[in-house]
């Protein structure tokens, strides 16, 4: 049945693109932090989960309407970003990579514990005010939640690209990322931009949390989407927003195809496995990714 | 370990490298051995011994990870996966060939070392965060492979029953017997690590950690030694996996997931990077943390939580404490418990007559 094959492929492809754009949104939070502060955030998934919990909790417990809950989540995550930068990350400036990696891993544990303690272990729903009726494009059915997610991702990816290319703050951030010393010499307050980068990552994570929470529901399993961030950013390049988009799309498509074609033979789980195999290949052949800056010493 | 000198009186490298820097160190080691090998198993109950067993197993794994992370400066988030490689190698050897422990333990270690060296290959080209992510990928890929290949995992639920090891024809039935069995491996691991670190290989590891370019210039083959570090560290991990499998009586990949790798990293960080005593202190600390949290909450939890919340609160509080302590140590005392212990010792060095 070649016709059926073709439709199946198309469905996998569109789903891959939709999911990929939503991965890109989460990866964007990661890239922002890496770009501005050189820190790698292993707690990105937990950021997303925490934001989801704030939004879902606000709506569930106090009955706040969706927009209020979303605003609360964004505000909460900005505060969290500022706070964490001040308490945890700032003392670690200039320390070895493993210190920052472990600190964010510790952070991930704390966030997971606090979120489950505060909001309970059950799954909560975020009700995004769009219809449940899927859109039909030929053989492809798209749930509106995914479309909203993909749309939000695109808007914010474009906004941040503009921000880094044109705005004064964005240019200052690039300068900080390039060389902290030179940036200081030019009169840039490096610490303030570090804090700002974490706050911006907080905003992006909040959006990610709302979108992903709207699709999957919010519980501590939501943090697992964070594991997908690494293949995305390695593929695209750790410090490239465009890379986050392209990497997200590739990971989304690859995992959907892998799940569609291989799952029946190996009994499931290929979705979580295939992106990592791809990532290992990229690490071996071109560690800086597609759009990343070459900055790897070979020793 | 417990002795104190009033100053530094070492005049030769041999004296500086000595395992027993002062005669009293021998007595201290003998006293510790007596306490842990003779007195502890005779006085403690089965339950407490089983906790000690967990700590012993963790000690071996933490020592191995510290060789890689603390001494060679390479990051690995895949320690748990290497343990699972050892565990399943041993489990398959036991079920198919009825191999005794003196074959399964080295075999599990060797297999893990092999896989570890393969995972270490990218360390030639990449380092720092890239290596961290590569080892994370290794963890997830190994986990997936074990779970999805029935030839390795034994099919149903990816778990294989393993009987207790037999010593001189008699199986080790009680926790106390197992305790002595495990203790032998911990002693081997401690002596092995301290000798490794004092040797040419260990010095090369430390040189690579401190300044890799300089190390290469003085003639250290960086690639080879990084692979050695990965292989040796994974060997320890493999042995840990086998020991844990014997302890549980079952090999199950769920016992070796990402969280386990993170637990071991936490042991090394909290205990102190690049320190043998630190690895042991870290293993004790991280193993006891959830147990103590549970005991405390079971006794006093009703003061803070209602009965229903309590069950929910125990694992979460453990997570918060765990993460919080990692951050605390990184920010406040990066050299870990080992440094705290040294500070205490330094304080008492000239104690009643400090000036």
Give the H/E segment covering residue A93.
Answer: none
- Inter-chain touch B312–A120, beta carbons under 8 Å: yes
Query: Topology of domain B44-353, per CATH?
Result: ABC transporter involved in vitamin B12 uptake, BtuC (1.10.3470)
What is the C-alpha to C-alpha distance for residues A127 and A210, in angstroms, rounded to an integer? 9
> Which residues from B are below 8 Å from A284, CB to CB?
122, 125
The answer to whether A273 and A258 have CB atoms below 8 angstroms apart is yes
Task: Print the SS3 string covering B56-113.
Answer: HHHHHHHHHHHHHHHHCCCCCCCHHHHHHHHHHHHHHHHHHHCCCHHHHHHHHHHHHH
Map out the domains of chain B as residue ranges: 1-34, 44-353
Mutate to test the interface with A, among B225, B330, B335 (most CBs of A within 10 A): B330
Which ipTM value was assigned to this complex? 0.84
> Which residues from A are below 8 Å from B306, CB to CB?
none
The answer to whether B233 and B75 have CB atoms below 8 angstroms apart is no
- B311 Cβ partners below 8 Å, 6+ apart? none
Pairing mode, if any, of strands A140-142 and A135-137?
antiparallel
- Inter-chain touch B125–A284, beta carbons under 8 Å: yes
- A100 Cβ partners below 8 Å, 6+ apart? A39, A40, A89, A92
Q: What is the pLDDT of residue B169?
A: 72
Q: What is the pLDDT of residue A150?
A: 85
Band (A78; pLDDT cuts 50, 70, 90): very high
- Mean pLDDT, chain A, whole residue set: 84
Section A228-255 average pLDDT: 89
With tokens 């914010």, the residue in question is A156
Band (A228; pLDDT cuts 50, 70, 90): confident
> Which residues from B are below 8 Å from A95, CB to CB?
330, 334
Q: Which of B128, B134, B320 sits opposite A114 (nearest CB)?
A: B320
Size of interface A-B (CB pairs under 8 A): 136
pTM confidence score: 0.89
**10-residue averages of pLDDT along chain B (355 residues):** 67 78 80 83 86 93 94 90 92 86 91 92 77 88 84 73 77 84 92 92 93 90 91 95 91 86 91 91 92 84 70 82 90 87 80 68
- Per DSSP (E only), the strands in A128-236 are 135-137, 140-142
> Which residues from B are below 8 Å from A101, CB to CB?
75, 129, 132
Q: Which of A188, A154, A157, A148 is nearest to A172 (CA)?
A: A188
With tokens 């990929």, the residue in question is A20
Query: DSSP string spanning B28-48?
Result: HHHHHHIIIIIIHHHHS-HHH
- Inter-chain touch B140–A273, beta carbons under 8 Å: yes
What is the C-alpha to C-alpha distance for residues B161 and B164, in angstroms, rounded to an integer? 10
- Does residue A2 have a pLDDT over 70? no
- Does residue A4 have a pLDDT over 70? no
The answer to whether B238 and A75 have CB atoms below 8 angstroms apart is no
The Cα-based distances of B325 to A80, B218, B259, B285 in angstroms read 19, 39, 16, 11
> Which residues from A are below 8 Å from B331, CB to CB?
88, 91-92, 103
Handedness of CA A127, A132, A135, A141 (dihedral sign): positive
Q: A1 or B329: which carries more pLDDT confidence?
A: B329
Range with the lowest mean pLDDT among A96-100, A129-133, B108-112, B143-147? A129-133
Q: Work out the percent of chain A whose per-residue pLDDT is above 90.
A: 14
- Inter-chain touch B137–A230, beta carbons under 8 Å: yes
- Here the tokens at position B311 are 């069950």
Q: B284 or A92: which carries more pLDDT confidence?
A: B284
- Inter-chain touch B140–A277, beta carbons under 8 Å: no
The Cα-based distances of A228 to A98, A195, A222, A283, B324 in angstroms read 21, 25, 11, 15, 25
- Residue B211 carries which DSSP code? -
What is the number of residues in chain B? 355
Angle at A245 (CA atoms; ends A244, A249), nearest 5 degrees: 115
- Inter-chain touch A102–B266, beta carbons under 8 Å: yes
User: How many H-runs (helices) and E-runs (strands) does chain A carry?
Assistant: 11, 2
Band (A299; pLDDT cuts 50, 70, 90): very low
What is the C-alpha to C-alpha distance for residues A199 and A203, in angstroms, rounded to an integer? 6
């Amino acid at each position: 049945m070649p016709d059926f094959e073709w439709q199946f492929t198309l469905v996998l492809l569109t789903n891959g693109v939709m999911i990929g754009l939503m991965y890109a949104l989460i990866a964007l939070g990661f890239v922002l932090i890496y770009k501005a502060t050189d820190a790698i955030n292993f707690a990105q998934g937990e950021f997303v989960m925490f934001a989801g919990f704030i939004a879902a909790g606000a709506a569930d417990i106090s009955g706040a309407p969706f927009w209020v809950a979303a605003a609360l989540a964004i505000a909460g995550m900005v505060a969290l970003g500022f706070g964490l930068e001040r308490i945890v990350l700032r003392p670690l400036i200039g320390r070895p990579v493993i210190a920052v990696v472990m600190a964010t891993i510790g952070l991930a544990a704390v966030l997971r514990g606090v979120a489950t303690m505060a909001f309970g272990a059950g799954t909560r729903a975020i009700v995004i005010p769009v219809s449940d009726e899927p859109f039909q494009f030929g053989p492809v059915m798209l749930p509106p939640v995914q479309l909203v997610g993909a749309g939000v991702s695109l808007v914010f990816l474009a906004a941040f690209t503009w921000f880094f290319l044109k705005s004064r703050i964005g240019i200052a951030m690039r300068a900080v990322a390039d060389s902290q010393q030179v940036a200081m010499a030019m009169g840039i307050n490096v610490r303030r931009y570090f804090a700002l980068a974490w706050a911006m990552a907080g905003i992006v994570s909040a959006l990610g949390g709302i979108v992903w929470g709207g699709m999957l529901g919010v519980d501590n399993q939501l943090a697992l989407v964070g594991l997908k961030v690494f293949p995305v950013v390695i593929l695209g390049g750790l410090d490239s927003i465009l890379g986050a988009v392209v990497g997200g799309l590739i990971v989304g498509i690859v995992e959907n195809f892998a799940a569609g074609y291989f799952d029946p033979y190996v009994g499931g789980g290929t979705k979580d496995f295939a992106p990592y195999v791809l990532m290992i290949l990229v690490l071996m052949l071109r560690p800086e990714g597609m759009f990343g800056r070459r900055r790897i010493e070979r020793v | 370990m417990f002795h104190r000198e009033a100053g530094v009186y070492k005049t030769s490298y041999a004296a500086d490298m000595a395992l027993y820097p002062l005669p009293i160190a021998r007595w201290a080691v003998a006293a510790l051995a007596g306490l842990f090998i003779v007195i502890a198993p005779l006085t403690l109950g089965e339950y407490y011994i089983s906790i000690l067993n967990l700590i012993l197993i963790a000690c071996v794994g933490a020592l191995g990870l510290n060789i890689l992370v603390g001494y060679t400066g390479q990051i690995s988030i895949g320690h748990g996966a290497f343990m699972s490689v050892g565990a399943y190698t041993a489990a398959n050897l036991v079920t198919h060939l009825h191999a005794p422990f003196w074959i399964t333990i080295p075999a599990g270690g060797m297999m893990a070392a092999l896989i570890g060296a393969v995972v270490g290959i990218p360390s030639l080209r990449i380092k720092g965060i890239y290596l961290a992510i590569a080892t994370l990928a290794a963890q997830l890929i190994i986990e997936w492979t074990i779970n999805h290949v029935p030839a390795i995992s034994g099919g149903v639920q990816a778990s294989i029953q393993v009987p207790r090891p037999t010593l001189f024809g008699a199986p080790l039935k009680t926790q106390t017997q197992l305790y002595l069995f495990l203790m032998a491996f911990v002693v081997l691991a401690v002596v092995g690590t301290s000798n490794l670190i004092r040797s040419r290989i260990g010095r090369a590891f430390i040189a690579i950690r401190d300044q890799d370019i300089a190390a290469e210039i003085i003639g250290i083959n960086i690639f080879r030694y990084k692979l050695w570090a990965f292989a040796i560290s994974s060997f320890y991990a493999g042995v840990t996996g086998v020991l844990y499998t014997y302890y549980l009586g079952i090999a199950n990949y769920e016992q070796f997931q990402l969280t386990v790798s993170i637990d071991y990293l936490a042991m090394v960080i909290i205990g102190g990077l690049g320190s043998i005593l630190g690895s042991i202190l870290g293993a004790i600390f991280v193993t006891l943390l959830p147990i103590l949290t549970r005991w405390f909450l079971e006794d006093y939890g009703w003061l803070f939580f209602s009965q229903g919340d309590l069950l929910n609160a125990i694992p979460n509080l453990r997570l918060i404490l765990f993460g919080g302590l990692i951050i605390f140590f990184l920010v406040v005392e990066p050299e870990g418990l080992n440094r705290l212990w040294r500070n205490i010792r330094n304080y008492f060095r000239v104690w009643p007559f400090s000036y």
